[in-house]
A and B are shown apart, each in its own frame.
Chain A
């Protein structure tokens, strides 16, 4: 029997970590992810876990210590947000290049500046090309479930890549909701033991990690990372299937909500998908065929599957909770439209930058997007595909 609880997103992530019982956790406080190492330190202090907790002096050192620990043969985990991830950035690339399946809990928050502690996805978008698997979570349950699946995916021999589980800062990290937990022994069995093939602490086979890698080899090594990322897609699906067998909760590369017969659709990630589902339900009651595609697996990006799932709709709105400041559109917009293009599917698409710095995104805001989509379907015209949602205009209060 699963355990019914009420937990915040941060508690959910920390609980998953407790059940995974990693060998090393190295972390540094930063709002809004601070609670994760806080809760975890309590588990360490009370002897609930076997973990060595390294209270590092910066996020750069947090990721460096995770790299050292994982290369040494341990399972290493960390958590961070926003500027913490920015400070880790150098090491984020090194972690994936060394093929170390470190798992990071990323509680999404706006990257400075100016300083803001609230949710947007600019932190995650800054590392989208770093070779990490990136899973997004709508709520505390998904943050928990994704974390339980993380090691099975990351440590798979065809993958061996680090993985981050994202959830929205404050919106889900601090909101207490119902959650279904898996029993400790079942988690232990599901996650399994980590048995690295090569590791620093194996005195029978000393290894050297992190060479100077010049013109003759670096290209091939980077390509191996790219292949691993491609392999990850199937592994994610396989692990998700096993997870469904254990919990009954089904996960794919993305979630299709009322999408099958939808004429207009929104594509978005994390908590906004919850708001969008509410709006979709209301529109459906009015006979409007609205749908949602919620990205779960952002890296590897499900190019073909996503294009196919959206091929029948008449207009799409892609919601980006981070502006790319490139005069072209947000990162998710570019990924989705590019996926459609290479699959030779032409559906009118429009981009909305929304929720920057924790700006609240209400049902009315999402409703206005669907209204815009209906207009696009009617007129077959898009004046400006790069739009803002919930941005105050001159004269607004």
Chain B
């Protein structure tokens, strides 16, 4: 059945409830809510959360926003924690210790807990082939502790540990490409997405990831109004610009074959994405034109690389 946002929202009650304490204009809650909606209503889920904004804002004792089973242990081990739960499921199911019905396993970690401190735990869980989905909600910095740079932080961004100073103009290193690292694990399903165009891309990829047997990985851009410096009502606009400038391309890799899900008819200059965000403000000062040029070059190179990969991996 073709995706229809109204149908999905009307027919699939949210499994991630209101009342959580995430910020207005944060990109993460709609991501979690929509991914959870991609579950079949009859399926149960065990959700693991890495320590981070989402975990500390959705599960403060004695309240929880998760209607499915949820587990949080520490910052760097959502992958291993959920792998353990999945192993328990396989074992107990095989032994007839569980009732009929399916349980799905979904982990949520921020970029700090995924690209950086949790990379080993994630890599291990994916390599071992647990039947689970790991979702990275990527806001490009350690937002929970107050906007420190991570390996997901884009080049030149102003963060509290890569401040745009008089000598060093923000973060001097490029962003790690996590989705490609996960592709290197030869997983059955890897995708990069975000909330755009009525969340169609996000929903469909979540559904595929959850219902593909084996390990799957979703990298979802989730803007942060505090860290990025945009008005809270501009979330969807920021998401749109990330896609239309090809800063955050929508693509999926199924059994090693790349598929770009959206190719803008007219690729916008990356300035459009950078300009509304305070973290890139210093790039627009006179004399700093080189920074925008360099940023654009990186976006172009990565986009071309993606186009090439799509072509190469789909050759007969």
Q: Residues of A at under 8 Å CB distance from B?
A: 23-24, 26, 50-52, 54-58, 60-62, 64-74, 76, 90-91, 94, 98, 200-203, 206-214, 217
**30 cross-chain CB contacts under 8 A:** A24-B88, A51-B91, A52-B87, A52-B91, A57-B127, A60-B80, A61-B120, A61-B125, A64-B80, A65-B87, A67-B73, A68-B82, A68-B87, A72-B46, A73-B97, A76-B88, A94-B73, A200-B85, A201-B44, A201-B85, A201-B89, A201-B98, A206-B68, A206-B69, A208-B66, A208-B69, A211-B61, A212-B56, A212-B59, A212-B61
Contact of A23 among B48, B81, B83, B91 (CB under 8 A): B91
Give B79 Cβ to nearest chain A Cβ, in Å: 8
Cα-based distance from A24 to B66 in the complex (angstroms): 26
Which of B66, B94, B101, B124 has most chain A Cβ within 10 Å?
Answer: B124
Is B92 among interface residues, defined by CB-CB distance under 8 A? yes
Cα-based distance from A52 to B92 in the complex (angstroms): 9
Contact of A74 among B60, B92, B120, B128 (CB under 8 A): B92
**Are B81's CB and A68's CB within 8 A?**
yes
Chain B residues 43-85 with CB under 8 Å of chain A are 44, 46, 48, 55-56, 59-62, 64, 66-74, 76-77, 79-85
Chain B residues 115-148 with CB under 8 Å of chain A are 120-121, 123-125, 127-128
Is B99 among interface residues, defined by CB-CB distance under 8 A? yes
Is B11 among interface residues, defined by CB-CB distance under 8 A? no
**Are B87's CB and A24's CB within 8 A?**
yes
Cα-based distance from A291 to B195 in the complex (angstroms): 73
A52-B124 in contact given A90-B74, A206-B44, A214-B60 (Cβ < 8 Å) = no
Contact of A201 among B66, B76, B77, B103 (CB under 8 A): B103
Cα-based distance from A52 to B60 in the complex (angstroms): 32
**Are B55's CB and A212's CB within 8 A?**
yes
Contact of B71 among A54, A210, A212 (CB under 8 A): A210
Give B13 Cβ to nearest chain A Cβ, in Å: 14
**Are B69's CB and A200's CB within 8 A?**
yes
Give the 7 A-B residue pairs with the shortest CB-CB distance, closest first: A68-B84, A65-B84, A57-B124, A74-B88, A61-B80, A203-B44, A64-B80
**Are A203's CB and B99's CB within 8 A?**
yes
Cα-based distance from A202 to B92 in the complex (angstroms): 12
**Are A217's CB and B61's CB within 8 A?**
yes
Question: Across the interface, which residues of B come within 8 angstroms of A68, CB to CB?
Answer: 48, 71, 73, 80-88
Give A24 Cβ to nearest chain B Cβ, in Å: 5
A23-B88 in contact given A67-B73, A208-B69, A214-B60 (Cβ < 8 Å) = yes
Give B106 Cβ to nearest chain A Cβ, in Å: 12
Is B304 among interface residues, defined by CB-CB distance under 8 A? no
Contact of B60 among A50, A56, A61, A212 (CB under 8 A): A212
Contact of A217 among B62, B79, B125 (CB under 8 A): B62
Question: Across the interface, which residues of B come within 8 angstroms of A213, CB to CB?
Answer: 61
Question: Across the interface, which residues of B come within 8 angstroms of A94, CB to CB?
Answer: 73-74
Contact of B90 among A52, A66, A217 (CB under 8 A): A52
Give A196 Cβ to nearest chain B Cβ, in Å: 11
Given contacts A203-B101, A209-B71, list 17 more A-B pairs with CB under 8 A. A24-B88, A26-B84, A50-B94, A57-B127, A60-B80, A64-B74, A69-B84, A70-B84, A70-B88, A72-B89, A207-B69, A209-B69, A210-B72, A211-B61, A212-B56, A213-B61, A214-B61
**Are B69's CB and A201's CB within 8 A?**
yes
Give A134 Cβ to nearest chain B Cβ, in Å: 22
Residue of A nearest to B83 (CB): A65
Which of A91, A98, A217 has most chain B Cβ within 10 Å?
Answer: A91
Contact of A26 among B87, B97, B127 (CB under 8 A): B87
Cα-based distance from A52 to B81 in the complex (angstroms): 15
Question: Across the interface, which residues of A come within 8 angstroms of B48, CB to CB?
Answer: 68
Residue of B nearest to A93 (CB): B74
Give A346 Cβ to nearest chain B Cβ, in Å: 45
**Are A211's CB and B124's CB within 8 A?**
no
Question: Across the interface, which residues of B come within 8 angstroms of A207, CB to CB?
Answer: 69-70
Contact of B120 among A57, A71, A72, A214 (CB under 8 A): A57
Question: Across the interface, which residues of B come within 8 angstroms of A206, CB to CB?
Answer: 44, 66-70
Residue of B nearest to A23 (CB): B91
Give B173 Cβ to nearest chain A Cβ, in Å: 26
**Are A69's CB and B69's CB within 8 A?**
no
**Are A64's CB and B67's CB within 8 A?**
no
**Are B59's CB and A208's CB within 8 A?**
yes
Residue of A nearest to B81 (CB): A68
A65-B81 in contact given A24-B87, A57-B127, A209-B71 (Cβ < 8 Å) = yes
Cα-based distance from A200 to B66 in the complex (angstroms): 12
Residue of A nearest to B98 (CB): A201
Chain B residues 11-63 with CB under 8 Å of chain A are 44, 46, 48, 55-56, 59-62
Question: Across the interface, which residues of A come within 8 angstroms of B76, CB to CB?
Answer: 60
Question: Across the interface, which residues of B come within 8 angstroms of A65, CB to CB?
Answer: 80-81, 83-84, 87
Which of A64, A69, A206, A209 has most chain B Cβ within 10 Å?
Answer: A64
Contact of A200 among B46, B67, B94, B127 (CB under 8 A): B46
Cα-based distance from A206 to B46 in the complex (angstroms): 9
A64-B60 in contact given A23-B91, A200-B85 (Cβ < 8 Å) = no
Residue of A nearest to B51 (CB): A212
